[in-house]
Amino acid sequence: MRTPFALPAIGPIFAVLRRHRLMPLLVIVQIALACAILTNALSLLQRQLAPMLVDDGIARGQVLLVDQLIQGQGRWNTPAVRTAQHALRDLPGVRAVAPAMGLPMRQSISFVLPVKSPAGVTADVTGYSADGLVQALGLDIVQGRDFTDEEYASTGAIFDKGNRNNVVPVILTEALARHLFPGGGALGGRLGGDEGPDDDSYYVVVGIVRHLLRYQLSELDDGQAEYSLLYPARSFEGLPILSYAVRTDPARRDEVAKAIPALLKQQFGSQLMRNVDPVVIDYESQRRESFAPRRAAVWLLGTVCVVVTLITIIGIASLSGYWIEQRTRQIGIRRALGATRRQILSHFRWENLLLTCAGLLLGLPMALAVNQLLMHYYELPRLPLQWLPIGALALLLTGQLAVFAPARRAAAVPPAVATRSA
């Protein structure tokens, strides 16, 4: 009987709950509704937020993205791409330039490879096909190495089927390596297409980078944010749309960004499709822009969660406050009969706990039902079950927090009250 949470006599609590029905009922309904909203909102919030928290692994303040170079008269050929690459490289302040198909945060073209590891794990992986992207983005190689000149030379262009080598070296992200090779040993491992690796045609993992997000911004959810793979490409024959990643001296990035449009005009001139201007943007701005809808959703869902919690606290606090006030006399009698303050406090806390549990008993199935409905009508995942205990715990704490002040007031009632008439 020392702690405030020592189990008091449950009997009186139930007796009271049976006699007054409206107040407990309102508390239970409130808890149930709050539970249904809160668990679903929290899981949606986590879903929106997760990809934004993943480290993107790209050198801060150094990277420029050049995109939307569309050939007006046909498809790009390798010499033109290389010439422009060298011209960009020669701009003062530029450290590395990578012609690429697929740039982080920009989905101007989508390249997805279905892969299967020897362990039988499959994944639809975003492909970055580029020449020197590790350098240009400042990616951090944690195992293995970057592609060699030889590998670049022997791997054909993506759009050029006949030219493709049977063994293609690739670099994976750490997250993808863990997913595909759950037992470890990703470096040097082989990956196949849909069917898994066979004897003469496969991808071989030569390196692993710490982080690299997919550029399909709608497919960052469910822990797949980093399912990306680098694919060596030095042949750009037949590419309809071209991009470059440019790494600059951090102090001179703005200056380089200003110089690039003129350079592109001079390099490609009339080859570019009329009226479609190339995009030159620094990585951080692009990231902000690409994540803007997610950020808005996070703010919205976060506000909903806070508001729901606040309203629940206000509701429970005022209802319990009233209800405890009603019973001031009974409390006085109990005190006069020898109950300690601690016991009074504990009585109301237990009462609140019981009501919250009753509300959760209603609310948790309701949360699942709401999720089922939403899943049925919209493209939403099943509510991850771990959110149920989290939501329940949050509401139990909310309930205890709300009842704290009224219960303290109740405990402060002096025994003398019992002797007064009202």
Partner 1 sequence: MRYAIELGLKGLRRHPRTMLLAVLTMALGLAAAMTMLTLMAMLSIDPLPGQSQNLYLAWVDSRQAPTAGDKPGDDASSPPRLLKLADVEALSAAMPQVRQSALVATSLNLDSEDGGKQGSIRAVLATGPMPLMFAVPLRHGRYWSVQEEREHAPVVVIDQKASLKLLGRADGTGQHLRIGKTLFQVIGISGDWNPQPQFYAMQRDESPWGKDFAIQAYLPLRSALDAGVVPLSVQDCDHGDHGGFRFNELDVDACRFLQLWTELTTPDATRAFARLLDGYGRQRHAEGVFAREPQSRLYSVRQWLAANRAVPDSVHLNLWLAVGLLGLCMVNVAGLLSARFLRRSTELGMRRVLGAPRRSIIVQCLTEAGIAGLAGGLLALPMTLFGLWVVRLQKHGYTEQAHLNPLLFLALLALALLVGVLVGVLPAWRATRIEPALQVKSL
- What mask of x and - would describe binding to partner 1 in positions 323 to 342, judged by CB under 8 A? x-xx----------------
In three-state secondary structure terms, 19 is: helix
Q: Residue-wise over 208-229: b if at least 16 C-beta within 10 A, else e? A: bbebbbbbbbebbeeebbbbbb
Gyration radius of the chain's alpha carbons:
31
Nearer CB in complex with partner 1: 135/216: 216
Structure tokens at 392: 């329940």
Among 293, 381, 389, 414, binds partner 1 (CB under 8 A): 293
- What mask of x and - would describe binding to partner 1 in positions 3 to 42, judged by CB under 8 A? -------------------xx--xx-xx--xx-xx--xx-
CA distance 29 to 411: 26
Applying CB under 8 A, does 307 fall inside the site for partner 1?
A: yes
Q: At CA 284, angle to CA 178 and CA 45, rounded to 5?
A: 60
Side-chain half-sphere exposure of 239, counting CA atoms within 13 A: 31
Helical segments of 214-327, H only = 253-268, 283-290, 292-326
Applying CB under 8 A, does 49 fall inside the site for partner 1?
A: no
CA distance 29 to 362: 8
Applying CB under 8 A, does 121 fall inside the site for partner 1?
A: no
- What mask of x and - would describe binding to partner 1 in positions 234 to 273, judged by CB under 8 A? ------xx-------------------------------x
Nearer CB in complex with partner 1: 346/356: 356
- Residue 179's nearest CA partner among 112, 146, 145, 225 is 225
Among 296, 306, 369, 412, binds partner 1 (CB under 8 A): 296
Q: How many residues bind partner 1 (CB under 8 A)?
A: 57
Applying CB under 8 A, does 75 fall inside the site for partner 1?
A: yes
Which residues here bind partner 1, judged by CB under 8 A?
22-23, 26-27, 29-30, 33-34, 36-37, 40-41, 44, 70-75, 114, 158-159, 161, 194, 218, 240-241, 273-275, 292-293, 296-297, 300-301, 304, 307-308, 311-312, 314-315, 318-319, 321-323, 325-326, 370, 374, 377-380, 422
